[in-house]
Chains A and B, each alone.
Chain A
Amino acid sequence: MNILIFLAPAAICMGAIGLVAFLWSLRSGQYEDMEGAAHRVLIDDEED
């Protein structure tokens, strides 16, 4: 059971990465315009 000492913190760290990623996306305003985001993927870049 000693392996728990390593596995448990590793698992928590992985969860924490997900949490930090979510908080970052929230802070950078990615949830401000849900409708616009859905439409913006359809816009082609015009680089000609």
Chain B
Amino acid sequence: MADTLTAGCPSGLSAPADTEASANLAAFVRKSAQGDDVLELMVEGASCAACIKKIEGGLLALPGIADARLNLSTKRLRVAWRPGAIAPEAVAEAMTRLGYGAKPFDPELAQQKIDQEGRFLLRCLAVAGFGAMNIMMFTTPVWFGDDVGPETRTLLHWFGALVAVPCGLYAAQPFFRSAWKALRAGRANMDVPISLAVVLTFAMSITETVLGGAHTYFDGVTMLLFFLLMGRYLDHRLRERARTAAREILALQAVTARRVGAGGAIEAIASRDIAIGDWLLLAVGERAPCDGVIVEGVTDFDCSMLTGETLPVPARSGDRILAGSINASRPVTIRADARAEDSAVAELARLIEVGEQGRGRFVRIADKAAALYVPLVHSAALLTLIGWMLGPLLLQAMGFPVADPSLRVALTNAVAVLIITCPCALGLAVPAVQVVATGRLFKAGVLVRSGDALERLAQVDMVVFDKTGTLTLGKPKLVSAPDEASLMLAASLARVSRHPLSRALVEAAGAGVAAAGAVEIPGEGVEAVLDGVSARLGKRSFAAPLETDAPDGSPELWFAREGTKPLRFVFADALRPDAAEAVAALKARGLQVEMLSGDRAGAAEAAARAAAIGDWRAGVTPAEKTARMQALRELGRKPLMVGDGLNDAAALAAAHASASPGHAVEASQAAADVVLQGNALMGLVEAIDVARQAERRSRQNLAFSALYNFVAAPLAAAGFLTPLIAAVAMSGSSLMVTLNALRMQGRR
């Protein structure tokens, strides 16, 4: 097998995932119905047929594995084996060997809830589609066959009833349920008129069939249900996608921790099992699962996700660290002083929840339309009934020779009003547009989390950026070095260190070898002997304690060789390549741009100037960011917050709309409406453009539906409506709104 030699996707198109051996997986193993042990893993880096083959083949080759199946859509891998046949760690090791990242799910959060509701809707849609197609066999002869006699017509109506009634009653269940729920709560929603129209139309059509009447609406009602269910299903798909994303983020937060047990034995546990007082081993690159105090070791902690600071903060024993900070240089042992769910990160998650509650007051455009629509339609139907009962009496009183009022005619016309105004175009108008818009943005690398996110994005009137990791790349870049030769020498020391400044130095120097015998002193720098001369690279107090230049606050490294003057390397957090362009494009769209940073004033000012942002504030805490969002909203503004760190998560949730870059922490992605893939900020501009376009298109569709009703409802009320007109009008209007939505697909 040649392809096992390359790590990750055999096509070489996607980079192999960062593989970290997962700790104890036993906590995530479940029992299947067949009694096998089942482990579900989230796979990173799988993208094609060759990946499926490599992963499934590679796992099935392990002894004892009964089943391995990768779902490429959800990126979930399900592995089953006979109990005891293999250790779960062996599965993760095999995945690492194959070059794919595999993370366990928290079994409680990840219970793959098969989308029951979606399946039910699809079943209803299938039944309605079957009904709508097959009923045409019986209604077209009635519509067009001039020579169809009354007996044949009644027979055809009976056949129609045979198909339509069971199909219709089955397919209308989602509407009946929702209408019943609303009515019991004393409210009315769009499903109330729909249910009423379906029930009344069936009752009227059956009566007409029994009495041998000319018009039945069996065809209209099944077609109506088909179109309505289509809109309902599209809407459900959009929401489900958002819900799944949120669930996955939650499930992935279930990381494992390594607990130092009695006698120094190290045992892996799920992070939710951490108890206060546990000693935890934190390897380099690991995120602290809970708040704690360092008991052993010296290291640097990268707190950028929590505070927005670019540079790691040195920490030694006795220092307190917060959950979510990443250990940057040396393994340390910490003592947990809060459980994972009570830690700082969890506190932020609660803030997110509060922010989202505020957002819950947002009313979707379709619901606004429904609130207007429902009373209007019902009054129109009622007026039709009264008009047909009282009208003839009135005319007779005035001396016109008209027939007596007939309850049958009055009811037929009232029901005709209900069925023709049934909101199938209205039900499709908005979801169709949103599905097309989110699909288009998806192709452009912008993930929209829900339909109403798109609506909120369209209303935004100002954009608030976070600095570190959002406007900037979030990692330092070398901006000034003394000379090429000393850069190469300094880099040979830096190669042994994982500190971001060392990494930036190495990146600037390019490929090379590390100095032999170089040793990193955590929190200080690197020391080595170069050509018999001792050399140091690190912070000022470590490498150049005698240097007297006043520091200007920029991130810096000093490089000193014994007997020569120390040299200074200066770094800055580089702006994203298209940040200035994106800010200019946003301003050109009439949006006010602001920056809130948790970083120092100097760094914030430099970034703001480079991106041409006039309004900026530095040293802003997470709570202040959230407060700023609330203040803006109270002023009637509709801010779009763009941020990536945990420190931004609450502000993201509190803003009117929110966006996160793709590398943002899970909590921020969970809070954001829009996730931008890749390194570019221009996707944000595209998202706003498409959202605005979608809003225009939704309004057009709603206006068209209203216009259609204005024309059709009076026709029905006047008794001119035939089943043929009803069928043509209803399918025609649904088709129109769908086509109008599809027009968005290609246009830029």
Contacts and interface: CB of A to CB of B under 8 A. Distances in A.
Given A26-B126, A35-B72, A42-B49, A1 B137 contact: no
A26 B126 CA distance: 10
A18 B131 CA distance: 12
Contact of B48 (A15, A19, A39, A41): A39
A33 B71 contact: yes
A35 B133 CA distance: 29
A19 to B, nearest CB: 4
Given A4-B155, A26-B122, A40 B134 contact: no
A12 B152 contact: no
Given A26-B123, A36-B52, A15 B130 contact: yes
B126 A36 contact: no
A48 to B, nearest CB: 13
Interface size class of B (residues with CB under 8 A): 20 to 34
Contact of B126 (A1, A23, A33, A40): A23
B362 interface: no
Contact of A8 (B70, B127, B130, B137): B137
A6 B105 CA distance: 57
Interface in B65-96: 70-74
A12 B161 CA distance: 12
Interface in A1-48: 1, 4, 8, 11-12, 15-16, 18-19, 22-23, 26, 31-36, 39-43
B72 A8 contact: no
Nearest to A19: B130
Contacts of A1: 152, 155
B123 A8 contact: no
Contacts of A19: 126-127, 130
Contacts of A11: 134, 137
Nearest to A29: B114
Contacts of B571: none
Contacts, number: 57
A39 B159 CA distance: 44
Given A15-B133, A33-B74, A35-B72, A43 B49 contact: yes
Given A16-B130, A19-B127, A42-B49, A33 B119 contact: no
Contacts of A4: 152, 155-156, 159
A36 B55 CA distance: 13
A34 B130 contact: no
Given A4-B155, A35-B72, A18 B130 contact: yes
A33 B152 contact: no
**Chain A contact surface mostly:** helix
A43 B162 CA distance: 46
A32 B71 contact: yes
B73 A36 contact: yes
Contacts of B53: 43
Contacts of B119: 26
A12 B134 contact: yes
A21 B403 CA distance: 53
Given A12-B163, A43-B49, A36 B123 contact: no
Nearest to B130: A19
A39 B119 CA distance: 23
B138 A40 contact: no
Contact of A36 (B70, B155, B156): B70
Contacts of A23: 123, 126
Contacts of A12: 134, 159, 162-163
A35 B163 CA distance: 35
A24 B119 CA distance: 12
A12 B119 CA distance: 24
B485 to A, nearest CB: 52
A32 B152 CA distance: 45
Interface string B36-68: 000000000000110011000000000000000
B163 A39 contact: no
B54 to A, nearest CB: 10
A34 B74 CA distance: 10
A39 to B, nearest CB: 4
A8 B73 contact: no
A29 to B, nearest CB: 8
A33 to B, nearest CB: 4
Contacts of A42: 49
Nearest to B56: A43
Given A26-B119, A32-B71, A15 B134 contact: yes
B133 A8 contact: no
Contact of A22 (B74, B126, B138, B152): B126
A18 B138 CA distance: 19
B49 A39 contact: yes
Contact of A34 (B73, B133, B155): B73
Contact of B72 (A22, A26, A39, A41): A39
A6 B99 CA distance: 62
A23 B119 CA distance: 10
Interface of B: 48-49, 52-53, 70-74, 114, 119, 122-123, 126-127, 130, 133-134, 137-138, 152, 155-156, 159, 162-163
Lowest 6 A-B CB distances belong to which pairs? A36-B72, A39-B49, A42-B49, A19-B130, A33-B71, A35-B73
Given A4-B156, A32-B73, 18 more contacts: A1-B152, A4-B155, A4-B159, A8-B159, A11-B134, A12-B134, A15-B130, A15-B133, A19-B127, A23-B126, A31-B122, A32-B71, A35-B73, A36-B73, A40-B49, A43-B49, A43-B52, A43-B53
27 contacts: A1-B155, A4-B155, A4-B156, A8-B137, A8-B138, A8-B159, A11-B137, A12-B134, A12-B162, A12-B163, A15-B130, A15-B134, A16-B130, A19-B127, A22-B126, A23-B126, A26-B119, A26-B122, A26-B126, A32-B114, A35-B72, A35-B73, A36-B72, A36-B73, A39-B49, A40-B49, A41-B49
